[in-house]
């Protein structure tokens, strides 16, 4: 999952980015409205954490523009000064999906993000499964035939995306857009390396496989071994 954090308070932005990366999200950061607009246009985000009072265009102006242009990406609106009921109503009416007032607990931030992602994709469950492969997302645990797999954060994020789109071909572009942040080099072989590592852990020497390469198209994680 890839998230855009739009926040101009440096310390808070760094803390939010770190908290979300600890949850295995890929995170981009913008400190002003102009940068946020450019990132939104260039990338596909699963969710935006948007501060209301950023250098122009403001969070509310950005949100209004995005909804007018047809962006349906869930937006969690943050505010430190706009705390009245009237302000909250305005933010929600413009198109925010949820609202969080500063200061906030990071546990609540993470919970609200999970809730918004579940609402966006009704098939997002706590546990994901393909054959004998089971991912417990809340516990960050993965097993194959009951045996635990030890995955790096990026391997976990990659497998999560494949599980969410099982039985569908996923392109390299899809993976770079949703599993990596803006620092990803599309000319590198990072995806190939991680897919190779993931295949060794998920399939090993088993005669049948879950993870397959589709030449010229990408990769597919099947719901049954074949």
Give the number of C-alpha atoms closer than 13 A to the C-alpha of residue 175, restricted to the C-beta side: 27
38 assigned to some structural domain: yes
List the CATH number of the domain containing 24.
Answer: 3.40.50.2300
| Residues 9, 103 within the same domain | yes
What's residue 82's pLDDT? Answer: 66
Same domain, 187 and 115: no
pTM for this predicted structure: 0.74
Domain count, the chain: 2
| pLDDT for 84 | 74
User: What's the confidence (pLDDT) of residue 76?
Assistant: 97
Are residues 113 and 215 both part of a single domain? Answer: no
The pLDDT assigned to 61 comes to 95
107 and 144 co-located in one domain? no
Bridge-based pairing of strands 211-214 and 218-221 is: antiparallel
Any domain includes 217: yes
The last residue of a domain, from among 60, 85, 120: 120
Domain housing 44: 2-120
Let me know whether 108 and 154 are in one domain: no
Walk along the chain (226 residues) and give the pLDDT tens digit of each residue: 899 999 999 999 999 999 999 988 999 999 999 999 999 999 989 999 999 999 999 999 999 999 999 899 999 999 887 667 788 888 889 999 999 999 999 999 999 998 898 887 654 567 899 999 999 887 889 999 999 999 998 999 999 999 999 999 999 999 998 898 888 888 889 999 999 999 999 999 999 999 999 999 999 999 999 9
Do 67 and 177 lie in one domain? The reply is no
- Do 24 and 93 have their domain in common? yes
Q: Does 226 reside within a domain?
A: no
Residue 55: the pLDDT is: 95
- Which helix (DSSP H) or strand (DSSP E) does residue 4 occupy? strand 2-6
Judgement on whether residues 101 and 25 belong to the same structural domain of the protein: yes
Please report whether residue 71 resides in a domain: yes
Q: Comparing C-alpha atoms, which of 153, 152, 132 is closest to residue 144?
A: 132
Are 173 and 144 contained in the same domain? yes
Q: What is the CATH number of the domain that holds 181?
A: 1.10.10.10
Could you give the CA distance from residue 140 to residue 138 in angstroms, rounded to a whole number?
A: 6
- Give pairs for 14-23: CB < 8 Å, separation 24+: 15/106, 16/49, 16/106, 16/109, 19/106, 19/109, 19/110, 20/49, 20/110, 20/113, 21/153, 23/110
Tens digits of residue pLDDT in 42-92: 998 999 999 999 999 999 999 999 999 989 999 999 988 766 778 888 888
Tell me if 75 is assigned to some domain: yes
Q: Of 120, 155, 179, which one is at a domain's C-terminal end?
A: 120
Distance CA 172, CA 161 (A): 12
């Amino acid at each position: 999952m890839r998230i855009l954090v739009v926040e101009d308070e440096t310390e808070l932005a760094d803390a939010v980015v770190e908290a979300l990366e600890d949850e295995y999200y890929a995170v981009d950061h913008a400190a002003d409205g102009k940068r946020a607009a450019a990132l939104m246009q260039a990338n596909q985000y699963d969710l935006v954490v948007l501060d209301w009072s950023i250098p122009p265009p403001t969070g509310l102006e950005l949100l209004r523009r995005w909804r007018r242009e047809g962006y349906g990406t869930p937006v969690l609106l943050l505010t430190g000064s706009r705390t009245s009921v009237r302000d909250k109503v305005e933010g929600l009416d413009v198109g925010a999906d949820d609202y969080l007032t500063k200061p906030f607990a990071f546990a609540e931030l993470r919970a609200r993000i999970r809730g918004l992602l579940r609402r966006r994709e009704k098939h997002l469950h706590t546990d994901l499964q393909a054959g004998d492969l089971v991912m417990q997302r809340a516990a960050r645990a993965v097993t194959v035939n009951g045996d635990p797999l030890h995955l790096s954060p990026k391997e976990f994020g990659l497998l999560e995306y494949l599980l969410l789109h099982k039985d569908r071909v996923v392109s390299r572009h899809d993976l770079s857009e949703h599993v990596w942040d803006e620092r990803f080099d599309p000319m590198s072989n990072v995806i190939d390396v991680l897919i190779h590592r993931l295949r060794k852990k998920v399939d090993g020497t088993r005669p049948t496989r879950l993870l397959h390469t589709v030449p010229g198209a990408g990769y597919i994680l099947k719901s049954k071994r074949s």
